[in-house]
Amino acid sequence: MQRSPLAPESAPNLPPLAGVQIGTMNSGVRYKGRDDVMVMAFDPGSVMAGVVTKSKTRSAPVEHCVDALAAGGDARALVVNSGNANAFTGRAGDVVVQETIKTAADVFGCSLMAVYVSSTGVIGEPMPQDAIPKSVRALGPKLQPGGWEKAAAAIMTTDTFVKVATETAKIGGVDVRLNGIVKGSGMIAPDMATMLGYICTDADIPQPILQTLLTRAVDKTFNCITVDSDTSTSDTVLLAATAKVGNAKPENANDPSLKDFKRALLAICMDLSQQVVRDGEGASKFIAVRVTGATSPGAAKRIGLSIANSPLVKTAIAGEDANWGRIVMAVGKSGEKAERDLLRILIGGTEITANGMVVEGYDEAPVAAHMKGQEIDIEVDIGLGRGKATVWTCDLTHGYIEINADYRS
């Protein structure tokens, strides 16, 4: 698979993060000649926050993560495989998850509920019973402090580039770091976390606060991206905090000491989530849709997603066609309040419509030039209220169909 033309030119080097050790290998589940399982171990005292798919047919690993988070969010190990989603695999799939967490609990000397598991790949194919537990046992003694890029590579499926990000922040004068990896390029739609993403920090933040911070950040990042409007059965974003730096514990999610950490968490979530869009299956253009003037922030997001998910809008952009009439259509079908004569549409900063029709003397030349670029900006002002939101997507090209018409074989 060719590297996406929208991929960042280079990836940052991720330094080791105190309290986290990593190992990868080939498990034999599906892919040959590459690592397909990743294990992270967290030092005692680490906690986990998480957000998972809203799908009603979510996978066995996701069900376990929900249970583990509900049990208090202690974190000692994370096991992720690619190649098989272990979704819709019945009781046999549940057994694989149980065997995996039992093995990890034994290897790392922790409770079952301190182990987190994810699987990504084909839905509905039986998982080999032993491959993942055996890999956990094999990797256990070999984990090392670094290796984030290897971990990001091991969890890839149709991804065309490795997705990592790192940020630093201060909590009460103490330096903390966030490292993150993510995978995803198809079956991406915003309804709780929309891919597999793992972020770790060495900060000391109690689990309930960590959960609140993650949920807020995901809502503005991972939940604002869409590639194809399809929601995975496996999507999970986890945030582990190892408490290895001596910052003063924040008292609640609104503690002023967390201001800079929140900025860094939002930045790393934004970076990782936009990398997923940049690797959207077949993507040739990265599209930002900014909606203002909606009756509420939720309405703005729904209008933005209606535009971002419209196959007609996405194919027009693929064709570099400034067919703004399709944006009007997508606003209309969103179900949210809109009035023709108040709607303003701008592409690449050029105003196209106002007062319910094309602006006087509209010159398509600058818009046509903008459409030829790789970064497309669409702005829609509904003109009714103060609700605003930005969502990100990619265009719909022949590449998407090529990738998805023959994924299993």
Q: Which of these segments, 104-112, 169-177, 332-340, 370-378, binds a second copy (CB under 8 A)?
A: 332-340
Q: Binding to a second copy by residue 404, rule CB under 8 A?
A: yes
> Can residue 409 be called a binding residue for a second copy (CB under 8 A)?
yes
The residues near 282 (Cβ < 8 Å, ≥ 6 apart) are 394, 396, 397, 398, 399, 400, 401, 402, 403
Crossing angle of helices 90-108 and 60-70, rounded to 10°: 50
Does residue 89 bind a second copy (CB under 8 A)? Answer: yes
Closer of 77 and 328 to a second copy (Cβ): 328
Q: Is 316 in the site for a second copy (CB under 8 A)?
A: yes
What is d(CA 180, CA 376) in angstroms, rounded to the nearest whole number? 26
Does 140 engage in binding with a second copy (CB under 8 A)? no
Out of 337, 349, 363, 386, the only residue in the binding site for a second copy (CB under 8 A) is 337
Question: Please, which residue, 70 or 405, has the CB nearer to a second copy?
Answer: 405
Distance CA 139, CA 26 (A): 10
Contacts (CB under 8 A) with a second copy, residues 175-194? 186-187, 189, 191
Q: Does 394 bind a second copy (CB under 8 A)?
A: no
Is residue 202 within 8 A of residue 253, CB to CB? The reply is no
The span of 26-34, 47-55, 258-266, 294-302 binding a second copy (CB under 8 A) equals 47-55
Neighbours of 191 (CB within 10 A): 15
User: What is the C-alpha to C-alpha distance for residues 139 and 108, in angstroms, rounded to an integer?
Assistant: 11
Considering only 16, 174, 358, 377, the residue that binds a second copy (CB under 8 A) is: 358
Binding mask 372-391 for a second copy (x = CB under 8 A): --------------------
Does 194 participate in catalysis according to the annotation?
Answer: yes
**Minimal distance, residue 287 CB to a second copy, in Å:** 14
Residues 285-314 that bind a second copy (CB under 8 A): 309-312
Position 343 contacts a second copy (CB under 8 A): yes
* Residue 318 binds to a second copy (criterion: CB under 8 A): yes
Maximum Cα interatomic distance, the chain, rounded to a whole number of Å? 72
Q: Which of 53, 158, 160, 194 is catalytic?
A: 194
Residue 324 binds to a second copy (criterion: CB under 8 A): yes
Looking at 101-109, 161-169, 195-203, 336-344, which segment touches a second copy (CB under 8 A)?
A: 336-344
Query: So which residues are the catalytic ones?
Result: 194
